[in-house]
Chains A and B, each alone.
Chain A
């Protein structure tokens, strides 16, 4: 059965500030959708409305077609969430805190301990099962929060900056976990500031600014439509030999400037989009200067994002 998340004419006003402004979108199927936008764009507010943490001023949010505002229990039944960085009772151990969530979610007593142990094991916190949460670092608490969100194997997962507070290893593990959840047929809706993270794990993006949805499409379509609008691109090229003649690179078609980073590395600014980039790559490869890497300094998604968000300012 396909699962869905839907915002219908969703608005949230705080005094004169319109945090979310007539937001309409629908996500369904087994996929991961990245929710992007600058600070204060309305991402967390939207996710909080989806999880009933705040009420909308107008409009509604639907999970599997059930209104969160009208029947929260039914709507959130198959949805696990992690919004902002919640705290659990500091006097509780992970086992106790997750037992409370398990009981609220109706997980039968016979399965509770096994599911909690599995969830805690997945976030690599099994060594800390019987320690007080109050003693945990921010990253450790975030791992327990992720375990809580995934405790009942939800079909829909809402995550608000899930890697926030995690160390590089933790970040990599969470990304891997999200990818696995996606392959298991779940619908994941996650906000993030990290475009590389979204590019890596998501299939679609929804970009929001000033409470309004700017675009919602597959990453491929978004980058096709919006990345090409940039006037110039930057690539970093590394050579196996010291670069002595940067003027030779400057003469290549479309190149604006060449800046030497160190003896072996240069940054090349060029215009003309992907076709020029392709030509530049093949020409550099044929110069016998010993090119060993060629990587865009900014990603296409980042370019798209910057174009879209800049346009609304």
Chain B
């Protein structure tokens, strides 16, 4: 096989590696995101998540078709609150667990990181690229779910979509980024995919809720330190009576702080972590 290489090089000389300009960090982020998305599209969990969103959407559609709009809300706002507002937080959390729960730990456990990290690419773009990939895949699921809600709203209440929905959608996107950055940091702290997924699931599905309840009942304070507390603004934005606890601003601050701190912490851990 060696002689073939020599022969080919005589015909069409290939530049040495040093001659190729190494892409910028931003380009590396995009490359990592692109291949992460391809990998997600080939994964069972993407189709499980898509199925959950579709089944939930179909169930609500069936409910509206069978029992009329009165079951959820007599107006388009009521439909968005009763359907979108009450379920989108769970969809986001499930996306964060399934797409972020073992995104980094899997690279260590399956040794896939060995084939990437030994190349001229800094670790931060690998981490951020994978985070961006998980975010974009989550957005695909959310958009498909959103389209089912909007289609029902248009069918029953006409083409007018309340402006609060777009606000809620914007908050959902920020909440998705925050939830994913949290599961990514959990994933970067572990070398076992199963452990990091389990920790992410327990924390996001039960842990935060229980801590919040305990703090509110026994401490009589609002759990401003919990990401799940901010989730309420995804539905409260539809309410004509404002402000709510948390207010939109408070909710957004919690999300942005979680996203920033978790991303920084995750990058720090990933930078220091060895492929032992």
Question: With A48-B274, A48-B275 in contact, is A121–B4 under 8 Å at CB?
Answer: yes
Q: In the complex the two chains form, what is the Cα distance from A108 to B21 in whole Å?
A: 9
Asked if B35 and A106 make an inter-chain contact with CB atoms under 8 angstroms apart, the answer reads: no
List B contacts of A97 (CB < 8 A). Answer: 115
Asked if A76 and B119 make an inter-chain contact with CB atoms under 8 angstroms apart, the answer reads: yes
Q: In the complex the two chains form, what is the Cα distance from A129 to B49 in whole Å?
A: 30
A105 partner, pick from B3, B35, B120, B275, beta carbons under 8 A = B120
- Count of interface residues, chain B, beta-carbon cutoff 8 Å: 41
B118 partner, pick from A51, A92, A111, beta carbons under 8 A = A51
Q: In the complex the two chains form, what is the Cα distance from A55 to B275 in whole Å?
A: 9
List B contacts of A177 (CB < 8 A). Answer: 1-2, 5
Q: In the complex the two chains form, what is the Cα distance from A88 to B6 in whole Å?
A: 27
A97-132 interface mask toward B, CB cutoff 8 Å, 1 = contact, 0 = none?
A: 100110111111001001100100111100000000
List B contacts of A118 (CB < 8 A). Answer: 5, 8, 14
Asked if A87 and B111 make an inter-chain contact with CB atoms under 8 angstroms apart, the answer reads: yes
A104 partner, pick from B1, B4, B111, B116, beta carbons under 8 A = B116
List B contacts of A14 (CB < 8 A). Answer: 276
Question: With A73-B22, A106-B21, A111-B14 in contact, is A173–B1 under 8 Å at CB?
Answer: yes
List B contacts of A148 (CB < 8 A). Answer: 115
Asked if B114 and A84 make an inter-chain contact with CB atoms under 8 angstroms apart, the answer reads: yes
Q: In the complex the two chains form, what is the Cα distance from A91 to B110 in whole Å?
A: 13
Within 8 A of B (CB), among A9-54: 14, 48, 51-54
List B contacts of A85 (CB < 8 A). Answer: 111, 114
- Count of interface residues, chain A, beta-carbon cutoff 8 Å: 57
Identify the stretch in A152-160, A221-229, A230-238 within 8 Å (CB) of chain B at 4 or more residues.
Answer: A152-160
Asked if A100 and B31 make an inter-chain contact with CB atoms under 8 angstroms apart, the answer reads: yes
Q: Which of B2, B4, B43, B275 has the most CB of A within 10 A?
A: B2
Asked if A53 and B275 make an inter-chain contact with CB atoms under 8 angstroms apart, the answer reads: yes
Q: In the complex the two chains form, what is the Cα distance from A118 to B122 in whole Å?
A: 27
Does B59 count as interface, using CB distance less than 8 angstroms? no
Q: How far is the CB of A60 from chain B (nearest CB, A)?
A: 16
List B contacts of A86 (CB < 8 A). Answer: 111-115, 118
Does A81 count as interface, using CB distance less than 8 angstroms? yes
Does B38 count as interface, using CB distance less than 8 angstroms? yes
List B contacts of A48 (CB < 8 A). Answer: 274-275
Within 8 A of A (CB), among B1-40: 1-6, 8, 12, 14-18, 20-23, 28, 31, 35, 38-39
Asked if B42 and A91 make an inter-chain contact with CB atoms under 8 angstroms apart, the answer reads: yes
Asked if B120 and A104 make an inter-chain contact with CB atoms under 8 angstroms apart, the answer reads: yes
A158-195 interface mask toward B, CB cutoff 8 Å, 1 = contact, 0 = none?
A: 00000000000000010011011000100000000000
List B contacts of A256 (CB < 8 A). Answer: none
Does B117 count as interface, using CB distance less than 8 angstroms? yes
List A contacts of B22 (CB < 8 A). Answer: 73-74, 77, 105-106
Does A255 count as interface, using CB distance less than 8 angstroms? no
Within 8 A of B (CB), among A50-92: 51-55, 72-89, 91-92
Residue of A nearest to B121 (CB): A104
List B contacts of A121 (CB < 8 A). Answer: 1, 4
Does B272 count as interface, using CB distance less than 8 angstroms? yes
Q: How far is the CB of A98 from chain B (nearest CB, A)?
A: 10
List A contacts of B31 (CB < 8 A). Answer: 100, 103-104
Asked if A77 and B122 make an inter-chain contact with CB atoms under 8 angstroms apart, the answer reads: no
Does A267 count as interface, using CB distance less than 8 angstroms? no
Asked if B119 and A122 make an inter-chain contact with CB atoms under 8 angstroms apart, the answer reads: no
List A contacts of B28 (CB < 8 A). Answer: 104
Given contact pairs A104-B116, A154-B17, a sample of 10 additional A-B residue pairs in the complex whose CB atoms are under 8 Å apart = A55-B272, A73-B122, A76-B119, A77-B120, A78-B16, A86-B118, A92-B38, A92-B39, A100-B31, A173-B1
B-to-A contact residues, CB < 8 Å: 1-6, 8, 12, 14-18, 20-23, 28, 31, 35, 38-39, 42-43, 110-122, 272, 274-276
Nearest first, the 8 A-B pairs at minimum CB distance are: A86-B114, A180-B2, A91-B42, A54-B274, A152-B17, A86-B115, A51-B118, A78-B18
A-to-B contact residues, CB < 8 Å: 14, 48, 51-55, 72-89, 91-92, 96-97, 100-101, 103-108, 111, 114-115, 118, 121-124, 145, 148, 152-155, 173, 176-177, 179-180, 184
Would you list 13 pairs from A and B whose C-beta atoms are within 8 A, ordered by A residue?
A53-B275, A73-B120, A74-B22, A75-B120, A76-B119, A77-B18, A87-B112, A92-B35, A92-B39, A153-B15, A155-B16, A155-B18, A177-B2
